[in-house]
Amino acid sequence: MENQANSKSIILNYGLVLGVITILISLVVYATGNHLQPHWSVSLFSILFMIAVIVLGLKKYKEINNDLLSWGQAVKIGVGISIIGALLSVLYNIIFVTYIEPDFMTQLMEIQTQGMLEKGMTEEEIDMAISVTEKFSSPYLSAAFGIIGSAIGGFIISAIAGAIMKKTEEDQY
């Protein structure tokens, strides 16, 4: 029971750290005017920070838990951290597209349309692509995909880190 309390506090604390880092990255991208076409390095930094925060959370849990960490605990903690971080990020994104930059989706559609024209797509192909994109571009559907994607990413990261960092009581004998 004590381990559950520790894991909950680790999940919450490190999830908050991940969420704040993600929001700060988004704010920097917006402040630099790159929010409509962010550089690929933004995604790389986001992934690296996610890996770092999850690994640090697992390391802290292992330290508190008498240097023991099972693979299942690692996955639970890693996915929890990534979901808390994603929830904060989603909340920021909803605030961003609703209040900070309400024309964001319209501007993004214009850039995508221009890109499709430059690739030589016909008007029919562009209209079809835009109609599909509009269906999936609601903030709430994007939020759901973001949370699911973050949970999957958190699972992969924590599964690998957990396999590497795993140490159980059976391993000691």
Q: Which domain holds residue 24?
A: 2-101+147-172
User: In this structure, is residue 116 part of a structural domain?
Assistant: no
User: In this structure, is residue 128 part of a structural domain?
Assistant: no
| Tens digit of each residue's pLDDT, the chain (173 residues) | 344 447 999 999 999 999 999 999 999 999 998 887 888 888 999 999 999 999 999 999 999 998 899 999 999 999 999 999 999 999 999 999 889 888 888 888 888 888 888 888 888 888 888 888 777 777 788 889 999 999 999 999 999 999 999 988 776 55
User: In this structure, is residue 9 part of a structural domain?
Assistant: yes
Give one DSSP letter per residue of the chain, joined into a string. -HHHHHHHHHHHHHHHHHHHHHHHHHHHHHHTT-SSS--HHHHHHHHHHHHHHHHHHHHHHHHHTTT-B-HHHHHHHHHHHHHHHHHHHHHHHHHIIIII-TTHHHHHHHHHHHHHHHTT--HHHHHHHHHHHHHT-SHHHHHHHHHHHHHHHHHHHHHHHHHHH-B-TGGG-
pTM of structure: 0.86
Q: How many domains does the chain have?
A: 1
